[in-house]
Amino acid sequence: MAEQHKDTARMKPRILLIDDEPGIRASLKVVLESAYELLAASSGADGLALFRRDPFHLVLLDIIMPNEDGMAILQTMRAEAPGVPVIMLTATKTVKSAVDAMKLGAADYITKPFDVEELRLIVARTLATQALEREVQSLRAQVVSRYSFHNLIGKSPPMQDIYAKIEQLADTRTTVLITGESGTGKELVARALHYNSSRKDRPFIAINCAALPDTLIESELFGHEKGSFTDARMRRVGHFELAHGGTLFLDEITEISPAIQAKLLRVLQEREFTRVGGSQSVKVDVRIIAATNKNLADLLQRGEFREDMYYRINVVSINLPPLRDRREDIPLLAKHFLAKRLQEEQRPSQELSKETVEILTKYHWPGNIRELQNVIEQASVWCRETTITPDNLPSSVRTDTHTLPLRAGALSGQLTLERAVMEFERQLILDALKQTDFVQVHAAALLGISRRMLKYRMDSLGICREDIRLSPDSPNVPG
């Protein structure tokens, strides 16, 4: 029973009262004590000390105290903890200063001698407003955070799922397989898993299995004993040991040979291994995250990946969709990368024109987010103005948007195949001409045809200089 009483007492809102008159302190205590936890200070200095020491929900502050400036105390409190509302206590004569106090951020004021009911009402109302504001703020923070999560940017539904999965999986030791096309952010997700777990202060070790030959990968992973092979003059600690207590990220896991896969399997099952050339088992506590841009199920079927390994690795998987399947993230990402570059280079501000964003949103991004990042950086370099326009984009990105409607048109029967192909050819030739400053010999070379052939195709497609001049993204047509 006593415990319970203590608990409810702890849940009462805490109010700090600062007033030099003992009578006021006593009577406020009587009025407020049943509903609130009240701490009283008789001077501004003591009050501030309490304010800084303990968290309060609300402050009742006397405007006029001997040798002290209630206004200054109010300002200090507002600056140090703007989330805590301050109600001023004032003698009727000084209502004007009460109004001034409101201008400085006081939540309300109560005139002395106070009416008990009015006092209770003002305190309760202020606390309720405050609670509501806090709730709105926390909701807003949640919404904002969902535009990004630990260096990952994206507000699309697939990204929301990925954030939720990372949160769920981060603090477990479950092996996670991350799949997705090149440049979709697999490594970033692996890092997010690590840095949102209790392992975050231990190492995150990434190893790219494709970058190392079989012979090296074994000693990279497991280490080797001195003299275990010709070059092994020293004992070497492998990545599994280095990652002890932390996370080991095996990137491009499919590039590991079946022989090494078998060894890896043992670590995954028993969390122990032997160094190359050694006989002693080494035990480790390592969380494994693997990634691949290949279709593991296909490799499994073709016998290129061990089945037992597949099931060990693929306990839970996170699949990163290609960028073209979450186009709503493209403007957000583009702006993010531009802002990042400008900040890194300490460049004056630049922005993306509306058409530029439109083109970026339509492009099919075979290289996914990495490609988008490169395109933004290049465009920002080429752009000499404050607005990045489509001209600053590589032509491959610009022209792709033209071919998309062509594809769609042909596949929906709105364009005949012949017409679509002709239009495509026309655009290719126009682009080649633009890229070579309209020097036909160079354009022909670019397209791998003779100059005569180019001229012939231009004629039969009806491409003339007028076309080039009228083409929307070719501002530099000479003469």
Ligand X SMILES: Nc1ncnc2c1ncn2[C@@H]1O[C@H](COP(=O)(O)OP(=O)(O)OP(=O)(O)O)[C@@H](O)[C@H]1O
**Site for ligand X, rule CB under 6 A:** 152-154, 180, 182-188, 293, 333, 369-370, 373
Q: What phi and psi, each to the nearest 5 degrees, are found at residue 286?
A: -130, 135
Answer with the entry of Mg ion, ligand X, none that 188 interacts with (C-beta below 5 to 8 A by kind): ligand X
Min separation Cβ 252 and Mg ion, Å: 7
Min separation Cβ 119 and ligand X, Å: 52
Give dist(CA 70, CA 86) in Å, integer. Answer: 11
Question: CA-based Rg of the chain, rounded to a whole angstrom?
Answer: 34
Length of the chain equals 479
Give dist(CA 182, CA 185) in Å, integer. Answer: 8
Nearer to ligand X, 81 or 188 (CB): 188
Min separation Cβ 239 and ligand X, Å: 18
Residue nearest to Mg ion (CB): 187
Nearer to ligand X, 101 or 291 (CB): 291
- List b or e across 370-391, with b for residues whose CB sees 16 or more CB atoms inside 10 angstroms: ebbbebbbebbeebeeeebbbb
Q: How many CB atoms lie within 10 A of CB 460?
A: 10
Nearer to ligand X, 152 or 430 (CB): 152
Nearer to ligand X, 341 or 402 (CB): 341
Answer with the entry of Mg ion, ligand X, none that 370 interacts with (C-beta below 5 to 8 A by kind): ligand X
> Residue 250 is inside which H or E element, if any?
strand 247-251
Answer with the entry of Mg ion, ligand X, none that 373 interacts with (C-beta below 5 to 8 A by kind): ligand X
Q: Which range, of 37-45, 141-149, 183-191, 467-475, touches Mg ion by CB under 5 A?
A: 183-191
Give dist(CA 188, CA 250) in Å, integer. Answer: 13
Tokens matching residue 455: 């001229």
Residue type for 78, please?
R
Contacts 24+ apart (CB under 8 A), 78-82: 78/104, 78/105, 80/51, 80/52, 81/51
Q: Which range, of 150-158, 187-195, 330-338, 420-428, touches Mg ion by CB under 5 A?
A: 187-195
Give dist(CA 46, CA 240) in Å, integer. Answer: 56
Give dist(CA 323, CA 173) in Å, integer. Answer: 29
- Residue 343 pairs in a beta bridge with none
Cβ–Cβ under 8 Å, residues 163 and 142: no
Nearer to ligand X, 182 or 269 (CB): 182
Q: Which range, of 50-58, 186-194, 274-282, 389-397, touches Mg ion by CB under 5 A?
A: 186-194
Cβ–Cβ under 8 Å, residues 247 and 206: no
Cβ–Cβ under 8 Å, residues 319 and 181: no
* Number of chain positions touching Mg ion (CB under 5 A): 1
Min separation Cβ 356 and ligand X, Å: 19
Give dist(CA 153, CA 168) in Å, integer. Answer: 18
Min separation Cβ 388 and ligand X, Å: 19
Residue with structure tokens 């009050």? Answer: 47
Answer with the entry of ligand X, Mg ion, none that 154 interacts with (C-beta below 5 to 8 A by kind): ligand X
Answer with the entry of ligand X, Mg ion, none that 390 interacts with (C-beta below 5 to 8 A by kind): none
Nearer to ligand X, 126 or 373 (CB): 373
Min separation Cβ 463 and ligand X, Å: 38
Residue type for 396, please?
S
Min separation Cβ 188 and Mg ion, Å: 8
Min separation Cβ 338 and ligand X, Å: 12
Q: What is the DSSP letter of 23?
A: H
Min separation Cβ 222 and ligand X, Å: 23
Residue nearest to ligand X (CB): 185
Min separation Cβ 153 and ligand X, Å: 4
Answer with the entry of Mg ion, ligand X, none that 185 interacts with (C-beta below 5 to 8 A by kind): ligand X
Nearer to ligand X, 250 or 432 (CB): 250
Nearer to Mg ion, 187 or 255 (CB): 187
Q: According to the binding rule CB under 5 A, does residue 187 interact with Mg ion?
A: yes
Answer with the entry of Mg ion, ligand X, none that 87 interacts with (C-beta below 5 to 8 A by kind): none
Residue type for 383, please?
C
Give dist(CA 63, CA 19) in Å, integer. Answer: 9
Q: Where does residue 250 rank: exposed (0-12), middle (13-18), buried (19+ CB within 10 A)? A: buried
Answer with the entry of Mg ion, ligand X, none that 153 interacts with (C-beta below 5 to 8 A by kind): ligand X
Residue with structure tokens 């186009």? Answer: 327
Nearer to Mg ion, 309 or 320 (CB): 320
Chain positions contacting Mg ion, by CB under 5 A = 187
